[in-house]
Copies of this chain bind each other. A is one copy, B any other.
Amino acid sequence: MPIKFPKHLKPIEPQGASILEKERQNATFNTEDLMEFIFGKDYITKRNRILGILQNDPVLGDKSHRYYNGRDVRFKKSLAAAKRFVELQRIHNWTDEEYGIADFLFDESTAFRLHRSMFMPTIANQGTEEQKKLFLEPALKYEIIGCYAQTELGHGSNVRGLETTATYHPETETFVLNSPTLTASKWWIGGLGVAANYAVVMARLISNGKDYGPHPFVVQIRNLENHEPLKGITVGDIGPKFGFNTVDNGFILFDNVHVPHISMLARYSRIDKKTGEYINPPNSKLAYGTMVFVRANIVLESRLVLARAATVAVRYSAIRIQGSDAANPKKVTNSKGESVVVETPVLDYTMQQYRLFPIIAQAYACHFTGQQMHRMYNKNQERMAQGDFSYLADLHASSSGLKSLTTTLAVAAIEECRRACGGHGYSLFSGLGQFYQDYLPKATWEGDNYLLTQQTARYLFKTMRQLRAGRIDGKESFSSGYISEYLSNTTVRCSFSYLEELDNPEALLSAFKFRAAFLVDKAVHALDAEGASWNDMLVEIYRVSRAHCQLLLATNFIQAVFGTSLQANANTARVLQQIAILFCLSTIEQEAADFLSSGYLSPEQSLMVKQRLVQVLKLVRPNAVALVDAFGFPDYLLNSALGEKDGHVYEKMTEMAEREPLNQNTVADGYEEFIQPLIHKGKKNWKVDQDGVAKL
């Protein structure tokens, strides 16, 4: 018989639902206003419509299996979901945006993910018209299902190190693919392990004895009739991962696999069919523009990750009680109308606020920067179309560092929120464990978060050198602006002298600017004057990029909410301004070593920052629940007992525990084999009465 909780028991007073209701009443602004400000009416309408479709779908509506099953069950259910997504898209004729919303709400990657996100876009961007017709059209209909095979077992981000070869043979007009070593095996390729029958394979192009480095080839890998691997191909799944186990990341090795000349994607560089001559690609900076677009989306996604983690932790922290704050005891009115002291909700503790509220602020910071990146991307595309590439370098450099910084923040935030939920954060029912595990790869793909910072720093170093040499001025770009300001006065110091002054947005930005420019200056000096190698400076390079990107986040946030163009009512504006200040203060506090070692902030001022931060946390406290509510994450997405909107934390925990497979019988499988023999061995020493009570 399945184990059930006694239905007559309620949680201790006060109930979560009434707590959250009160929290919402206490907010100083209207949640719907802020939600509309963030997403716009149109998006909210779409999200609600698609949510209705998913929640009521027979395949996608039930997420309850996700926390209990092993990879075998979850993978198969996820395959079913992948197929259902294909059907739903056809039925509802979803746009890319709508598909993205559905994907976000469903919140589980499937075996077809890379088919959509990499296989088709690569052919679309790098294929000729003929290739698009040949490969893209069946791909759109899922007659062929593809993946993107770049990474190898022995080679990660460094594309130049790839070992797989594609040698052209003009006599047969074929490329021959080979994996010369074990480390040449493609590895980590999403969708390849089980599902894909085609792959874009990055392989070193060799023609007429010359190695032209990695190029993309569209390669059939499995038989369309029966899905068996083609001759010369060893393909399979790379095995279990820390997360993302509903995706079949795979490996593939090639042993003299022949593919026709048409297989090499030839929009840019190509091989002459007859002679095998290599034809150079035209200089294409356009690809960098696309990267900016992709990264803007990653920053906007980070915002949702930060806000989602905070939603769970903030709501639960409002409900969870622990101990009592002696100086400020919490009182409630009981059913008899008496005022009684109850334990304090953990959200009232400064430490909890200190852990959680900056994460809310980061979510909003990423929102404004993601939006700004999209605006800059559009502006830059227009300019590039007119042959003007002047925006590109700054934009690309900043987008590299921003991808690194915001995904690093988001990864840290999920885990911090999980831990801030105390013991229950460790239950998968928190909804934060799997979330962390599945989001983690974002810190590695689309550019490793450490490596990317080198691109950002390299550009800033160049800017500093060019400014010093007088080859550019401060009007060239945002970066040259703040660096030249610094160069014009490297001995300026922060002027804060009392706490409230710390809310001055311009003054806060000046601090971020000085600190970033100072770090650039020191690093350039070490490289150019002190003989430090690039390798010696990697730690500082990382810091330079982080400082620059924190400045960008602060700048975009401040400009958006303190500017005259802010499209929000007074209450909404006020709370946004408050958390902009919180973002700046908490970031300065976390990075205080930089601000202090640059000399810009004095020791006394840094202590003031800490004090003011605690004061601002208190100001944000009444709005905390409403600020996460404004992101409007439905319970369907959160899949969390701790974070659900109506606050039935403990009822949900017990309902979810009832579904645990071990609880489907009062005596679990394994008892007879492994426990009973030990206990019954001592049977001569005890007896039990008719109720089973032992007499030892």
CB within 8 Å of B: which A176-220 residues: 179, 181-185, 187-188, 193-195, 197, 220
Residues in A519-558 with C-beta less than 8 Å from chain B: 522, 533-540, 542
Q: Are A154 and B73 in contact (CB under 8 A)?
A: no
Q: Min CB distance, A212 to chain B, in Å?
A: 19
Tell whether A448 is near chain B: CB-to-CB under 8 Å.
Answer: yes
A32 within 8 A of B: no
Min Cβ gap A73→B in Å is: 7
Task: Please pick, from B68, B75, B244, B691, the residue contacting A230 in the complex, using a CB distance under 8 A.
Answer: B691
| In the complex, A231 has a CB within 8 A of chain B | yes
As a 0/1 sequence over residues 346 to 379 of chain A, the CB contacts with chain B under 8 angstroms (1 = contact) are: 0011110010000000000000000000000000
Within 8 Å CB of A153, what residues of B?
11, 650, 653-654
On whether the beta carbons of A322 and B157 are closer than 8 Å, the reply is yes
Interface pairs (16), CB distance under 8 Å: A11-B183, A141-B681, A142-B679, A153-B654, A156-B423, A238-B657, A239-B429, A239-B659, A241-B427, A242-B427, A248-B668, A325-B534, A422-B444, A539-B610, A540-B610, A598-B603
A388 within 8 A of B: no
**In the assembled complex, which residues on chain B have CB atoms less than 8 Å from the CB atom of A154?**
11-12, 320-321, 650
- Complex: chain B residue closest to A434, CB-CB: B242
Whether A86 is near chain B, meaning CB under 8 Å from some CB there, is: yes
In the complex where A155-B322, A223-B688, A614-B536 touch, is A144 in contact with B679 (Cβ < 8 A)? Answer: yes
* Interface flags, A412-444, vs B, CB<8A=1, else 0: 000100110011001111000100000011011
Cross-chain contact of A242 among B193, B255, B428 (Cβ < 8 A)? B428
What band does the interface of chain A fall in when counting residues whose beta carbon is under 8 Å from B? 35 or more
A82 to B671, CA, bound (A): 12
Question: B237 contacts A657, CB within 8 Å?
Answer: yes
A322 touches B12 (CB 8 A): no
Contacts of A224 in B (CB 8 A): 679, 686, 688, 692, 694
- Bound-state Cα–Cα, A138 to B428, Å: 35
Give this chain's copy count: 2
Contact across chains for A426 and B241 when beta carbons are under 8 A apart: yes
How many whole Å from A671's CB to the nearest CB in chain B? Answer: 5
- A91 CB-CB contact with B under 8 Å: no
- Partner-contacting stretch, out of A1-9, A466-474, A629-637: A1-9
Q: Assuming A154-B11, A657-B238, is B3 touching A248 (CB within 8 A)?
A: no
Contacts of A340 in B (CB 8 A): none
> Which of B182, B418, B658 interacts with A11 by CB under 8 Å?
B182
Please, which residues of chain B bring their CB within 8 A of the CB of A144?
679, 694, 696
Q: How far is the CB of A159 from chain B (nearest CB, A)?
A: 10
Cα distance A3–B238 when bound, in Å?
A: 11
- Closest CB-CB distance, A677 to chain B, in whole Å? 7
**A598 CA / B153 CA spacing, docked (Å):** 49
**A185→B67 contact, CB < 8 A:** no
Q: Is A58 an interface residue (CB 8 A)?
A: no
A674 proximal to B (CB < 8 A): yes
A656-678 vs B, Cβ < 8 Å mask (1 yes, 0 no): 11111111001111110111111
Contact A422 B448 (CB under 8 A): yes
The reply to whether the CB of A44 lies closer than 8 angstroms to some CB of chain B is no
Contact with B along A434-458 (1 / 0, CB 8 A): 0000001101100010100000000
Given A6-B253, A679-B224; A607-B614 close (CB under 8 Å): no
Alpha-carbon distance between A677 and B679 when the two chains are bound, in angstroms: 53
Q: What is the bound-complex CA distance between A153 and B610, given in angstroms?
A: 35
| C-alpha gap A73/B80 in the complex (Å) | 23
**Which residue of chain B has its CB nearest to the CB of A677?**
B83
List of B residues within 8 angstroms of A538 by Cβ: 349-351, 354
Kindly list chain B residues whose C-beta atoms are within 8 Å of the C-beta of A426.
Answer: 241-244, 440-441, 444
Report if A170 contacts B (CB, 8 A).
no
Residues 221-247 of A contacting B (Cβ, < 8 Å)? 222-231, 234-244
Once the chains bind, are A179 and B9 in contact (CB under 8 Å)?
yes
Q: How far is the CA of A73 from the CA of B12 in the complex (A)?
A: 36
* Segment touching B, from A96-104, A292-300, A393-401, A589-597: A589-597
Judge whether A335 is part of the interface by a CB distance below 8 angstroms.
Answer: no
Which of B76, B419, B667 is within 8 Å of A670, CB to CB? Answer: B76
B253 & A5 in contact (Cβ 8 Å cutoff): yes
Known: A68-B71, A228-B667, A234-B3. A181 touches B10 (CB 8 A): yes
Please give, as numbers and ranges, the residues of chain B lying within 8 Å of A248 by CB-CB distance: 662, 668
Instruction: Tell whether, in the assembled complex, residue A240 and residue B349 are in contact, meaning their CB atoms are under 8 Å apart.
Output: no
CA distance A141 to B683 in the complex (A): 11
Q: Does A501 contact B (CB under 8 A)?
A: no
A82/B236 contact (C-beta < 8 A), A228-B667, A654-B182 known: no
Q: Which residue of B lies closest to A229 (CB)?
A: B666
A83's partner among B67, B155, B674 (CB-CB below 8 A) is: B674
